Structure 1
Amino acid sequence: MTRDQLLTAPETAVPTLRGAVAGLPSYIPGRRSAGRDVAALASNESHYDPLPAVVSAVAEAAGRMNRYPDMAAVELRERIASHLGVTAGELAVGPGSVGVLQQIVTGLCDAGDEVIFAWRSFEAYPILIEVAGARPVRIPLDDAEGHDLDAMAAAVTERTKVILLCTPNNPTGVPISHERVEAFVQSVRSDILVVIDEAYVEYAEAGSGPDSLALYRRYPNVCILRTFSKAYGLAGLRVGYAVAAPAIAEGLRRTALPFSVSGLAQKAAIASLDAGEQMEARVDAVKRERARMAAQLEAQGWKLPASQGNFLWIRADDDLRAKLVDAFDRADILVRAYQGDGVRITVADPASNDRVLRLLAAHAARKPPTYNPIRSTDN
């Protein structure tokens, strides 16, 4: 039988995707536009141009792009270790914090194991968990748009392997205090890995969230997850890292896709750490704009959680959400909408932020309803 006959035979079996993959929702990135007058506020990326020293480091590294990068990222891990006061053996790097999280779930979870996280939180959580064959356990946010740690602790079973704490939470911006995180870690089994996802930690006010390094040093089952994509402005190069007990970190390095962090990304991350003061000045400017926007929106009548990320969150039912998104679209402002939950707006440059303020002022009469946790399982 020829190949064509085989493919057209009525009972010929064909390759099929795993059930978990066939039913998997796609990750939806923030919308983009090439229009000059479009304010792209749908992705929580930096709106500053790359730092000059970082551009120089990338340009120099580009001359060696014909060679594979250092798979172990030794130089980068040593630089991060110096920055944090840990050892290189306690670090694993990957293509953004989401890549490292995939290494965590792959490294710790067998089929049917459970991963607990707040919802709504980072959209990639349930996707990565289901791809690994594990079971996502979503715990609705509390009335303050933050993590309901009591409910998360109550959801622990003998199959629980990992718990994800996103602080500040994406998309609501609400942090978890140090005291609450420590009490939570003490309340769960020591064989459960508690991952403190701090993608936006640089934007948080001092003391608003946990001292994650202190918790890590005290509790061996704590893991810290961070990224260079946000405050450091390397979203396009993809590099993040985890701080974990040496045995866990070694396992994460083993589960990494070979050469997944490019040489350009490694050099850019090192240069970014070396330019820390410049990065902090940019972060401070975002914080000032965040405070200015929040104050004006609250004066207009909008009820906002006190965001500690580089974004603001408006809780809205689907009717209000659709009206707001339509208005933003017509004004050439791209925001991130979450069905059944609300709208997230990235804090950008003052001119773009002013456009947001003017639009929302015009819609302030349609105030969002009093927050009522939506027990949704949507991805």
Structure 2
Amino acid sequence: MPASVAALRTEVLDFEPYAAGLSIEEIRERYGLESVIKLASNENPLGVAPLVQKRLKTAAGLAFRYPKPDTPRLRKAIACRMGVDQSRVVAGNGSDEIIDILIRVRAVPGRDNVLAFKPCFSMYKIQSKFLGVEFRQVPVEADFTYDLDKLAERVDENTALVFVTSPDNPSGFAPKAAELEAFARSLPPACLFVVDEAYMDFAEPEEAYSIRNLLDELDNLVILRTFSKAYGLAGMRLGYGLMHPDLADYLMRVRLPFSVNILAEEAGIAAIEDTCFYEATLQAVRSGRERLAAELTAMGCVPKPTQANFLMFTLPEACSLSAKDVFEKLLERGIIIRPLGSYGLPDSLRVSIGNEHENHAFLRGLREVLEEARA
């Protein structure tokens, strides 16, 4: 190894990259398949909104221009959609960028710590480690619910940020808003409480679970949202945070300029405007997850209750196959779901809610695999 590489920071030398889901192309090539269904990455089951596609075609000729660094038109659209002042909105290259900047501006390496449940979205841990900040975790309960009192016990004078994902990934659990509010009010004023609501659009009813209406009351509250799920823009990399205007101002100062490209900004604005597509997405997800939960249960699987656009489940108790075996056998049939070994859950699988055709194909494929295992 060259000396210049060996001299890199120790946090980098043993760094493990984010593990993304398998792509349709690699499974098609691996098994020689013509058709592959991907239900592994919690993407929008209806694809890209018609208005977004139209707007992108119109805006393509502007790709040679730099966007405005503070994305004012997009932030205004987000503010109107969320019912907050524009000064509270920070847009980013996915909500991942907002997570990264929050840790950078608040946590001091070697002194502060970041706290979250386990398992959780891996970016909290990845970015904390990369920045040299201690990352602490409190295990979720056996039924994947949150014990917020146990989380509160781990908070100390050096806890810079607490991340809570609601609804959670991979379980789909969402604590009630009143529980999150009580926890938020128990935190020291200097500790940022970051509620990652990437899947909140699918919660039913949303107002029972989201605490974004408390932004005016809690100066240390940050709400994260994304365009990757309900708005169908995972490939555009677009997300945002809602927070106190002073904190937003500092994030805007240090954020890399032009991190939200000009086409992503246009797509985000169009996605907000296309309310018909948004409502159709919610309907498809809510009806699809109800059907999948019922049919998985009928097969003897055990799906977890979920407020997200995916289902986590375990196989029938009498099944002779492991979760990894079932995952592999579904791949051979051109169906990609998510094994959860990387979350420390080797006996569990996660399936995204697809469209009617995709849901039917998944259920048929899983039924065939389980029947073959019993034969």
TM-score, scaled to structure 1: 0.89
Which of the numbers 15, 19, 24 marks the counterpart of 2:10?
19
The change in CA–CA distance for 1:177 and 1:366 in structure 2 (over 3 A counts) is farther
Comparing 292-301 with 229-238, greater Cα deviation is found at 292-301
Contact 1:167 1:209 (C-alpha < 8 Å) held by counterparts: no
SS in structure 1 at match of 2:21: coil
Amino acid at match of 1:326: E
Match of 2:362 in 1: 356
Match of 1:62 in 2: 60
Contact 2:292 2:359 (C-alpha < 8 Å) held by counterparts: yes
Which of the numbers 324, 335, 338 marks the counterpart of 1:336?
338
Unaligned runs of 5+ in 2: 29-33
Match of 1:326 in 2: 328
Match of 2:103 in 1: 105
Alpha-carbon separation, structure 1, partners of 2:301 and 2:333: 19
Match of 1:273 in 2: 272
Amino acid at match of 2:52: V
Match of 2:31 in 1: none
The change in CA–CA distance for 1:360 and 1:161 in structure 2 (over 3 A counts) is same
Shift of 1:315: 4.4
Shift of 1:46: 1.2
Match of 1:45 in 2: 43
TM-score, scaled to structure 2: 0.89
Higher helix share: 2
SS in structure 1 at match of 2:222: strand
Shift of 1:208: 7.3
Unaligned runs of 5+ in 1: 1-6, 368-379
5 Å-filtered alignment, 1:118-137, equals 118-137=117-136
* Count of aligned residue pairs for this structure pair: 357
Amino acid at match of 1:23: D
Amino acid at match of 2:107: C
SS in structure 2 at match of 1:289: helix
Q: Once the two structures are aligned, what percentage of the paired residues are identical?
A: 32
Shift of 1:159: 1.4
Shift of 1:174: 0.6
Match of 1:229 in 2: 228
The change in CA–CA distance for 1:233 and 1:72 in structure 2 (over 3 A counts) is same
SS in structure 1 at match of 2:114: strand
The change in CA–CA distance for 1:300 and 1:252 in structure 2 (over 3 A counts) is same
Alpha-carbon separation, structure 2, partners of 1:277 and 1:14: 52
Alpha-carbon separation, structure 2, partners of 1:27 and 1:296: 32
Amino acid at match of 1:345: V
Comparing 244-253 with 308-317, greater Cα deviation is found at 308-317
Contact 1:79 1:270 (C-alpha < 8 Å) held by counterparts: yes
Contact 2:200 2:206 (C-alpha < 8 Å) held by counterparts: no
Amino acid at match of 1:344: R
For 1:274-330, what per-residue CA distance to the aligned partner results, in whole angstroms no more than 9, with x for missing partners?
11232111221111011000011112222222111111102479x722222122222
Shift of 1:205: 0.8
Which of the numbers 20, 30, 40 marks the counterpart of 1:29?
20
Alpha-carbon separation, structure 2, partners of 1:337 and 1:257: 35
Contact 1:177 1:209 (C-alpha < 8 Å) held by counterparts: yes
Alpha-carbon separation, structure 2, partners of 1:307 and 1:208: 16
Amino acid at match of 1:248: L
